[in-house]
Structure 1
């Protein structure tokens, strides 16, 4: 039978007089993975940059720089990301989730206003990388590769950079001056951008021009079509073409009555764009019910506020000039829509199909080893295709098609490409356990209602392309950052130091603090293992573990 530690000591030992010698459990500091970090497709260390932002003042720049370690587009992402981090936020169980996305936007906008820049501190590697596509994934990869010391060239067939951030997201959600500012910052690292250059021969470009690796980031710029019986003069367009044409000199002519067929965010964007172009009636036709609609709730709510109508359980049967025939649907026991035979007519000058997008993969036709399945390129966990040195990410690989996911792919690919160029292997660091709400002592957190972002007055929203949602001011951004619970990670609250009855919690300073990675340590000679510190830690950063001899 194992005896307690103190019983194994000689009575005359000096250790026998120390109160910690009778301990059966000891407290240890731990780091857990915050749920917001875990949910972020871009792999941001959200809690770390919120911690810096909580200080305000100079802390904003430190927060921005911490954020920029993972994501080169904070001002963009603060506008277009669907913030899964907030869905995962533990604070939502107390009052409401921390407005992570709005604080990120504040930091991104502040960086543009203040002219903050980043540098490529790594030594030049002498390696050259070609990035095909100047969208979120390609530009993210270029940013991280440049900071790792590589010579990067980005080529894109369009006249302007940004990919689907420019050609798929309307200006009222993402002002183009914000997009241009964050792209310019990437180019300032020495990245070469070649626009209006279509890459048709990947191997020719790679080997003929001396590139050591290629990252393919071709966006989904081709709208999916569906067969709709139509009269000769019926006007049928696809959503991708409509949104793309908004960046040209001439805006698309949709008419006064516009029907949009589809249920995703792109369908909402097209309907809202049609209203701004002068449509008196914009209606979204969707064959399922609202709860099965892939569009995000806030997109649907904003569309309805702007006068967009939604027609559920409906499908387009035929299109004639100025008129659509609609069939009513009903859901079967599996939730799949079935026709009912009930028809009605809907007046519409144009029908816009918003049924999804595909990537143009013709540039891969003659590349050996690359496998294409269901319209996407198959890649390994390192995002390398079946051809050595050719990597791919973003819309052209199997994944959710969002800007945030694409940015995350760019960062991930850059790290694997860097390792491949240096004849090494990149292994992602192991992740800590997840910080569940049960690990926190929420008694210490006061109620703090979320700060709401102001929106443009409704009368102007449906008639202009001004940005609909405004950012937080400094006061509200600071308040919102301070709502973070710091789940699973010490934030120097001094609670353990204050509640310890044995004064066995030591405050660390200078190099000791730096070495420990936190501001406290335990003096186990005097810690009796009472567990008060663990019980009273607000963020769950202390756990009790069995004592060992």
Structure 2
């Protein structure tokens, strides 16, 4: 008797036999959505991607992903006001992911291990002048060098770093950290010319044979205000005070210091005064705390360190170690109005922290370059009205933070590169946002954020040691793992496990999944159970 060939007989009740895909009116699709942290980052970092590497313990890969967008992670991990965390979806579950803390950890690991970035072997033959070595200038120089161009930075001061060095106190940004990251950028083959002021940008471009220029002059001029004062009154601006900390000796302020203003620079000035020996440092501000431009954490730390706040107050007169302040009240629009009520305070020194401007004298004679309200006007690609002259950072209309400046440097570099190559740069389209209501948070256990340790209060006002400390490896790893991967698959296998039709196939680590539409009947269980909202049901065509 002839044997029958071997065959697999499918159970008539199985989906594989019935090809239930024919029942479907909707089908699931894997999607990519824009995480809210990425969308909120002024430097344009791919935060979710570098957190993905960090949570696996691959810190060098995480750092290299970070360095694709931001060449100063150890610095920004200290001074960035982390809008990414304000936008983080996890804040609606327990606490936002400590993105800034993990960024600092990765930056410090890179310094500790000596990780470097390789410069390209070939050069384009194009030369770019960067004016200013602050965050915008360093970022532009870094990205331009990686794009193959020769870069020269000219800096008027005798040290690089711009307002990061001359405007941010050491207790927030240790200089050895700043120097380490600047040195890594320069090691790519970038020329730095210190003590070289550019007075005429067109002459500098012509004489140096530069094909393009990026202007990144920081806001280093303190604004003044008319305050009637006697001959014995000592008044200086906050920029002079903070910049003077980088000189041979600190400024002499006396025992009682009044700081006039309500921004972050005012907080830095008052906290610096305390460290210089002021027994009484008072901030005089015209509005209330909730209307202060200073970030809340800066105000809180200042109060912890004994800085007093005189809300709804303005300085009317200064003389002989005393100031006269007038009480204000807010009108129906929130604008402060004088009340005619006065008070006197002791003040050996008055520090004005009323805002800052950039020195724009170098562009006075540049044709077609427009200046409005103290800022250089630029197009979407950060080019001014003069061909080949770009500008960013504090010089242009934007929020004046170091992270915004880093983002400007990267953006300008891409547009300068396109300009030099005779093309145009067009960023790709952005994905739809990964909203919180797309997530299935049942799968995420409660995990409150790690708290960064702080220098004990007793030591703060007697030293310029760093106040906010970093995370150790275990807490940094824990913090990275709190990321919910909003809007993007992290291969949790939920879809694979819950599919009743075995229609989902694993493609391998890092490759995701595939859906066999012959057997998917469109029940939507996989979409409903996706923790990160990385799947959608779409109508069947």
Per the TM alignment, residue 354 of structure 1 is displaced from its structure 2 partner at its CA by 0.1
SS at match of 2:181: helix
Instruction: Show CA shifts across 1:287-325 (max 9, x none).
Output: 100110010111001001000000000000000020000
Q: Which residue in 1 is equivalent to 2:537?
A: 544
The answer on 1:54 being equivalent to 2:60 is no
Alignment map for 1:47-86 (pairs within 5 Å): 47-56=48-57, 59-86=58-85
The answer on 1:276 being equivalent to 2:275 is yes
The answer on 1:22 being equivalent to 2:15 is no
The answer on 1:492 being equivalent to 2:491 is yes
SS at match of 1:283: strand
Per the TM alignment, residue 120 of structure 1 is displaced from its structure 2 partner at its CA by 2.1
Contact 1:122 1:147 in 2 (8 A): no
Q: Which residue in 2 is equivalent to 1:300?
A: 299
Q: Which residue in 1 is equivalent to 2:40?
A: 39
Alignment map for 1:366-405 (pairs within 5 Å): 366-405=365-404
Say which is worse superposed, 18-27 or 473-482, in terms of deviation: 18-27
Q: Take 2:408 and 2:448, find their aligned partners in 1: how far apart are those partners?
A: 34
Contact 1:126 1:151 in 2 (8 A): yes
Q: Which residue in 2 is equivalent to 1:285?
A: 284
Alignment map for 1:482-521 (pairs within 5 Å): 482-509=481-508, 518-521=511-514
Contact 1:49 1:66 in 2 (8 A): yes
Q: Which residue in 1 is equivalent to 2:450?
A: 451
Q: Take 1:500 and 1:307, find their aligned partners in 2: how far apart are those partners?
A: 60
Per the TM alignment, residue 123 of structure 1 is displaced from its structure 2 partner at its CA by 2.9
Instruction: Show CA shifts across 1:331-371 (max 9, x none).
Output: 00000000001011010000000000000000011110100
Alignment map for 1:346-425 (pairs within 5 Å): 346-425=345-424
TM-score by length of 1: 0.95
Q: Which residue in 2 is equivalent to 1:224?
A: 223
SS at match of 2:340: strand
The answer on 1:94 being equivalent to 2:93 is yes
Q: Take 2:532 and 2:465, find their aligned partners in 1: how far apart are those partners?
A: 41
TM-score by length of 2: 0.96
Per the TM alignment, residue 16 of structure 1 is displaced from its structure 2 partner at its CA by 10
Q: Which residue in 2 is equivalent to 1:238?
A: 237
SS at match of 1:152: strand
The answer on 1:261 being equivalent to 2:260 is yes
Q: Take 2:176 and 2:368, find their aligned partners in 1: how far apart are those partners?
A: 41
Q: Which residue in 1 is equivalent to 2:6?
A: none
The answer on 1:195 being equivalent to 2:194 is yes
Contact 1:259 1:350 in 2 (8 A): yes
Q: Take 1:368 and 1:390, find their aligned partners in 2: how far apart are those partners?
A: 11
Q: Which residue in 1 is equivalent to 2:319?
A: 320
Contact 1:317 1:327 in 2 (8 A): yes
Q: Take 1:167 and 1:55, find their aligned partners in 2: how far apart are those partners?
A: 38
Contact 1:325 1:343 in 2 (8 A): yes
Instruction: Show CA shifts across 1:144-185 (max 9, x none).
Output: 000000000000000000000000000000000000000000
Per the TM alignment, residue 23 of structure 1 is displaced from its structure 2 partner at its CA by 0.8
Per the TM alignment, residue 17 of structure 1 is displaced from its structure 2 partner at its CA by 4.7
Q: Which residue in 1 is equivalent to 2:13?
A: none
4+ residue segments displaced more than 3 Å? none
Per the TM alignment, residue 437 of structure 1 is displaced from its structure 2 partner at its CA by 0.3
Per the TM alignment, residue 188 of structure 1 is displaced from its structure 2 partner at its CA by 0.7
Q: Take 1:129 and 1:96, find their aligned partners in 2: how far apart are those partners?
A: 44
SS at match of 1:78: helix
Q: Take 1:29 and 1:406, find their aligned partners in 2: how far apart are those partners?
A: 35
Per the TM alignment, residue 209 of structure 1 is displaced from its structure 2 partner at its CA by 1.6
Q: Take 1:318 and 1:221, find their aligned partners in 2: how far apart are those partners?
A: 26
SS at match of 2:214: strand
RMSD of aligned C-alpha atoms?
1.0
Q: Take 2:188 and 2:29, find their aligned partners in 1: how far apart are those partners?
A: 43
Q: Take 2:31 and 2:229, find their aligned partners in 1: how far apart are those partners?
A: 65
Per the TM alignment, residue 194 of structure 1 is displaced from its structure 2 partner at its CA by 0.5
Q: Take 1:121 and 1:94, find their aligned partners in 2: how far apart are those partners?
A: 44
SS at match of 1:91: helix
Per the TM alignment, residue 21 of structure 1 is displaced from its structure 2 partner at its CA by 1.6
SS at match of 2:464: coil
Per the TM alignment, residue 413 of structure 1 is displaced from its structure 2 partner at its CA by 0.2
Q: Take 2:448 and 2:385, find their aligned partners in 1: how far apart are those partners?
A: 50
Q: Take 1:97 and 1:121, find their aligned partners in 2: how far apart are those partners?
A: 38
Instruction: Show CA shifts across 1:510-529 (max 9, x none).
Output: 8xx6xxxx411111111111
Q: Take 1:121 and 1:526, find their aligned partners in 2: how far apart are those partners?
A: 49
Instruction: Show CA shifts across 1:398-431 (max 9, x none).
Output: 0000000000000000000000000001001100
Say which is worse superposed, 121-130 or 363-372, in terms of deviation: 121-130
Q: Take 2:184 and 2:308, find their aligned partners in 1: how far apart are those partners?
A: 40
| Unmatched 5+ stretches in structure 2 | 1-15
| Unmatched 5+ stretches in structure 1 | 1-14
SS at match of 1:508: strand
Per the TM alignment, residue 98 of structure 1 is displaced from its structure 2 partner at its CA by 0.3
Alignment map for 1:144-155 (pairs within 5 Å): 144-155=143-154
Per the TM alignment, residue 509 of structure 1 is displaced from its structure 2 partner at its CA by 3.0
Number of matched pairs: 526
Q: Which residue in 1 is equivalent to 2:517?
A: 524
Q: Take 2:442 and 2:122, find their aligned partners in 1: how far apart are those partners?
A: 49
